[in-house]
Chains A and B, each alone.
Chain A
Amino acid sequence: MPATDTILDIQALTVRFHTRQGLVSAVDGLDLALRRGRVLGLVGESGCGKTVMSHALLRIEAPGRIEGGRISFFGRDGAEVMLDALDPGGSTIRRIRWKEIAMVFQEPMTSFGPQHTIGAQIGEAMALHGIASGRALQPAVVASLQSVGMPRAEETARQYPHQLSGGMRQRAMIAMALSCHPTILIADEPTTALDVSTESQILELLRERQAALGMSILYISHNLGVVAQIAHEVAVMYLGRIVERAPVGALFASPKHPYTRALLRSIPRVDRDCALEALSGNIPEPFARPAGCSFHPRCPDRLVGICDQVAPALRRMDDGSEVCCHLYGECAHG
C-alpha cells in the first residue's frame, strides 16, 4: 500500500520494444514513487530509458509496449487509476493528459506545431479540457503566458513559434503545460538545449511555479548539477532500472551506488580544480543485458561470483535512501 501522499506509484514497470534485431527492454522492472507537491529528479545517461519511462506514464510509449508492472495514479479526488491498463487511445487517458499529467519536452521547437500561433495552440488545449472557452479563452491564454513571466504576453500569443527565442519558446511550452493546472508535470530535459543564462531562468520559473501551484514535478535530466538545484528527491537510473533513490541532500553528501559515485566524479567543477575520473567502458548493447547486476562490467567495486550472477534488490538504508547494490546487502557482510 503506498503512502497517502503518493501521487504516482510505479511498480516493476517493464516497457519493451520488439525490433528486427531483437527484444529491447528499455524499462526493466522499474520501481518509483512520486510524492504530492514534490520534485523528483530522474538522472541517467542517454539510452537508460528515462524518456521511454516518462512516455509510458502518458501512454505514448508506442511502438514500445508495457509488458509488466503497474502504474497507479492518484488524481485530485484520491481515486486510483491504473494507467498501465488504460487504452492509449481511449477517453480516460485523454482526460488525464494535460489536465492531470502534462509534459514539457527538451526541444521546444519541435513540440509546438509551426503553423499555428502560440496563443492558438495554448487556447486549443485549454478549450479541449474545458478550462476556458468563447470570450474568456483569449484572456485566459494571455494570463497563462503572463504567469510564466512572458514579456508582452498579448503580442506573444499572436506570434508563431519560430518568432520566439529558444528560452521564450520553452517559457511558452511551460505556459501551455501548466494552462490546464496539472497535478503532475513531467519535464524531460527542459533546459538541455538552452544557454546557461536561460537555463537558470527556466529553472527558477519551474521552482517558483511548483511552489505556487503545489504540483509534483518529475524532472528528467542527465545533468546532476541542474537536478541538485531543483529536486527534493533524486532517482538514478541505469539500463532501465532505478539503482539509487535518495533525498537530494543524502544523494550528494553520501552517494552509495558505484554508478552514482562515478557520475558525481565525472562532473567538471566550476568552483574548484579537480581530477575527472571517467567511468570505463560504454553502456552495453540493449540486446545483451549483462547477467546479475547490469552495472557489474563497468563497476570498479564488483564482487566476483555475486555481482555477475545475482541481480541485487532495492534496499532501504538508514539515511532514507534506497540502493540497489550487493555492496549494501547481506552478501557483502557475509
Chain B
Amino acid sequence: MAEPTPLLEVTNLSKSFALRGGFFDAPKGVVQAVDKVSLSIARGQTFGLVGESGCGKTTTARMIVRVVEPDGGEIAFWDDELGRLDLCRLSGRQMRPLRRKIQMIFQDPYASLDPRMTVLRIVGEPLRATGCTDQRATRQRVAEVLEMVGLRHEHMSRYPHAFSGGQRQRIGVARALATEPRLVVADEAVSALDVSVQAQILNLLRELQARLDLTYLFIAHDLGVVRYICDVVGVMYLGRLVEVADKASLFRSPRHPYTEALLAAAPRPEPGQPIVQLPAPGTVPASGCPFLPRCRYQKETCAREAPEPRQVAPGHTVSCHFDLSLRGV
C-alpha cells in the first residue's frame, strides 16, 4: 500500500521559554517546552496528541498554527494550490492566505467566545480577518456553517450567554470551519464538557470530518476520547514525543513504559477496579532518559544515554532503549 499523502509534516520542532523571576525579573533558567518533535499527519486523518499537563502539547499546537514562534525545526504543509510550504519560513504576509487553511478549536467554550459579539460576528471573524469584506457573502457562509454544526440560522443575532456549553462549543466549531480549512487543531476541545454533550460534539466532529474531508490534530488528556476519535496517536512526555503509533497498536500493545502507565491509570467506568497510580514525577535527570525516575523497567543504560526515537514496527516509533513487547511483562 502506498504511503498516504501527508497534509502536515513537522520535523524537529523545538521551543524553549526563559524562566524569569526574583529581583528585576532576572532570567533564572530555560524550560525546553518542546524538544525536537517530529510528526506527520495524513490527509483526512486525526492525529491525537496526549500527555499530562505541561508536557508541551499546547505549545506544539500553537507553533503549528503559527501563534508561537518555534526556535527551530520545520513545519511542512501541503497546500492544494501551492504545494509543499514550510510554514516557518513564510513571512506574516505570506502566511495570511494560509491561515484560512489552518484553524483552531479551543478548550473553554465560555472563555473562547467574546460575550459582546453576536454569533454572526464571532463566526464571521476569521472570514473578515482573512480578507473577506463582503457582508452578504459572510452572512451566507455563517448561516451555512451554523447549519453544519446543528445550529440554526436565527441563532446568528444572539450573544454567547444565550447558549449552553454544548451549543457554545458548536459555535466554536462553526468559527473554525468558516474559512473552509484543511487542518483543524482542536486543543482539549471536549475536555470541559459533560459526558453526554461531549459525545454529541465528538460525533459531530467525526461527521464533519467525513463530510468535509478534514484533517484533525486533536489534543486531549482523556485517553478514552483519543481512542474514540483518533487514527494515529502521539504520546508526549516533557516536551518529547515518546511514542507514535496507529490507534490499534498503541492501545493494544503500548511499547513505551510511559504509555503503558498512562493507559493503566486511565479510569474505567466499572466498579471494583483498583485505582492505579502513575509513579510520582521525581526530579528529571540532567542526562539520560527523562522518564527514568518514573520508569519501572529502568536499566543502567537509561541513566547514561537519552533514547532516540526508533521504529519498532511500520508507523510505530518509540523513544526507549528497550522494547516493552520483548520484556515478557
Contact = CB atoms under 8 A, between A and B. Distances in A.
Nearest to A280: B200
Interface stretch (B33-41, B135-143, B162-170, B313-321): B162-170
Contacts of A264: 269
Interface string B197-235: 111101100000000000000000111110111000000
Interface string B104-139: 000000000000000000000000000000000000
A228 B268 contact: yes
Contact of B269 (A47, A203, A252): A252
Contact of B267 (A222, A226, A283): A226
Interface in B220-278: 221-225, 227-229, 251, 262-263, 265-273, 275-278
A273 B267 CA distance: 15
A222 B195 contact: yes
A196 interface: yes
B53 interface: yes
A266 B269 contact: no
A276 B278 contact: no
A282 B194 CA distance: 11
Contacts of B197: 45, 278, 282
A200 B277 contact: yes
Nearest to B201: A278
Contacts of B272: 249
Interface in A220-237: 222-226, 228-229, 231
Contacts of B265: 196-197, 200
Given A201-B277, A276-B203, A268 B267 contact: no
B263 A270 contact: yes
B278 A196 contact: yes
Interface string A27-54: 0000000000000000001110000000
Contacts of A46: 165, 194
A276 to B, nearest CB: 4
Contacts of B221: 195-196
Interface in A268-299: 268-271, 273-274, 276-279, 282-283
Contacts of B224: 225, 267-270
Given A204-B277, A276-B202, A282-B164, A263 B195 contact: yes
B116 to A, nearest CB: 21
Contacts of A222: 194-195
B195 A223 contact: yes
A107 to B, nearest CB: 13
A267 B221 CA distance: 14
B196 interface: yes
A195 B281 CA distance: 13
A127 interface: no
**Residue from B198, B262, B270 whose CB has the most chain A CB atoms within 10 Å:** B270
B267 A229 contact: yes
A263 B53 CA distance: 27
- Number of contact residues on A: which range applies? 35 or more
Interface string B147-178: 00000000000000000111100000000000
Contact of A262 (B167, B196, B251): B196
B52 interface: yes
A47 B200 CA distance: 17
Given A195-B53, A196-B262, A282-B166, A269 B222 contact: no
A172 interface: no
A8 interface: no
B269 A224 contact: yes
Nearest to A47: B164
A282 B167 contact: yes
Contact of B199 (A199, A231, A273, A276): A276
Contacts of B277: 197, 200-201, 204
Interface in A62-84: none
A120 to B, nearest CB: 24
Contacts of B166: 282
A242 interface: no
Contact of A200 (B165, B203, B275): B275
A225 B202 contact: no
Contacts of B195: 45, 222-224, 263, 266-267
Nearest to A264: B269
A184 interface: no
Contacts of A278: 196-197, 199-200, 202-203
A281 B208 CA distance: 19
A248 interface: yes
B52 A196 contact: yes
Nearest to B195: A266
A271 B268 contact: yes
A269 B227 contact: yes
Nearest to B163: A282
A24 to B, nearest CB: 15
A211 to B, nearest CB: 13
Contacts of B275: 200, 203-204, 207, 229
Contacts of B276: 200
A228 B199 contact: no
A203 B164 CA distance: 30
Contacts of A201: 277
22 contacts: A45-B195, A45-B196, A195-B53, A199-B267, A207-B275, A225-B267, A228-B269, A228-B271, A229-B273, A249-B272, A252-B269, A252-B270, A262-B196, A263-B196, A267-B269, A268-B229, A270-B224, A270-B227, A271-B268, A273-B227, A278-B196, A282-B164
Given A223-B267, A228-B271, A267-B224, 14 more contacts: A195-B53, A223-B195, A225-B268, A229-B267, A229-B271, A229-B273, A251-B271, A266-B195, A268-B198, A268-B199, A268-B224, A276-B199, A279-B196, A282-B167
In the A-B complex, the 5 residue pairs with the smallest Cβ-Cβ separation, listed nearest first, are A268-B224, A266-B199, A278-B199, A197-B278, A225-B267
